[in-house]
């Protein structure tokens, strides 16, 4: 299985996943042209080669290009019923035969990728995170969640690769330029995970199979890649978790990251 973050942050989110038989896009938070360019730049893949698009929730930075990509390349589009209700006005019409509904209680397969959804805690209607499995390899995606729940800890345990939100540094957020109402929203249980939260989440989930952690959805105003890395690594080391065999990186905000084999 291969993974590449195409973009990450409030200006747009998209993750590409590939196996021998299947190519999918998780979220499509930029214009269709930009998403197509990022796929070719980062992965050497044309958008028409995709098998499906999956959307985690209906915020603009995750769905902006979903409708146009589905229409232009005749791609199936997967989302929960709540997400469909919220995003239709943002993405435009999608033909009925390409509309698929995610049930958070059921897994399904797209080609040779098994998809297991789980609920997250965010200020959107029926948001989800995803576990993508192929063979013995398991990849988890958990961004845009104000808390890391017990269920999330259980289902995301001992992944081979984990894309995990580390949105903000608490000090930078509290002392930054955002209005108080926005600060409260970000720090709430329906907001975003902080660097400290990400470190604590990894304490609950890292196992012998965990080789790659990608910190994602960093705030441009309230975080720094070096600070997120330092906080997460320090949390793990201070709790006697060995990180010598775990590659912890940060997803670039405006460009594709490395095409990673797991």
Domains of the chain, each with CATH number or no CATH:
2-254 (3.60.15.10)
| pLDDT category of residue 241 using cuts at 50, 70 and 90 | confident
The tens digit of pLDDT for each residue in 7-42 reads 999 999 999 999 999 999 999 999 999 999 999 999
The continuous run of DSSP H or E covering 60 comes out as: helix 60-63
| Range list of β-strands (E), the chain | 2-7, 14-18, 23-26, 52-54, 77-80, 99-102, 108-110, 113-119, 128-134, 137-142, 161-165, 212-216, 247-250, 260-261
Nearest Cα residue to 253 out of 4, 2, 12 = 12
Report, as an integer, the average pLDDT of 44-72: 98
User: How buried is residue 101: exposed, middle or buried, by Cβ count under 10 Å (0-12/13-18/19+)?
Assistant: exposed
The tens digit of pLDDT for each residue in 129-163 reads 999 999 999 999 999 999 999 999 999 999 999 99
The tens digit of pLDDT for each residue in 175-233 reads 999 999 999 999 999 999 999 999 999 999 999 999 999 999 999 999 999 999 999 99
The continuous run of DSSP H or E covering 236 comes out as: helix 225-238
pLDDT of amino acid 30: 98
């Amino acid at each position: 299985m291969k993974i590449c973050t195409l973009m990450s942050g409030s200006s747009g989110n998209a993750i590409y996943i590939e196996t021998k038989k299947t190519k999918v896009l998780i979220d499509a938070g930029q214009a269709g042209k930009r998403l197509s360019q990022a796929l070719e730049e980062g992965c050497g893949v044309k958008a028409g080669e995709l098998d499906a698009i999956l959307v985690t929730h209906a915020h603009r930075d995750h769905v902006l290009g979903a409708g146009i990509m589905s229409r232009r390349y005749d791609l199936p589009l997967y989302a929960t019923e709540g997400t469909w209700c919220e995003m239709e006005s943002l993405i435009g019409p999608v033909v009925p035969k390409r509309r698929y509904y995610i049930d958070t209680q059921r897994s399904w397969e797209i080609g040779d990728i098994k998809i297991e959804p789980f609920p997250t805690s965010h200020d959107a209607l029926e948001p989800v995170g995803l576990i993508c499995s192929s063979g013995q390899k398991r990849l988890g995606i958990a961004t845009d969640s104000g808390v890391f729940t017990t269920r999330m800890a259980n289902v995301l345990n001992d992944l081979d690769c984990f894309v995990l939100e580390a949105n903000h540094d608490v000090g930078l957020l509290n002392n930054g330029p955002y209005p108080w109402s926005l600060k409260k929203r970000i720090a709430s249980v329906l907001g975003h995970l902080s660097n400290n939260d990400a470190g604590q989440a990894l304490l609950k989930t890292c196992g012998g199979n965990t080789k790659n952690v990608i910190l994602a959805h960093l705030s441009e105003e309230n975080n720094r890649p070096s600070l997120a890395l330092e906080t997460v690594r320090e949390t793990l080391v201070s709790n006697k978790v060995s990180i010598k065999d775990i590659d912890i990186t940060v997803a670039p905000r405006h460009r594709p990251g490395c095409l990673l084999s797991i």
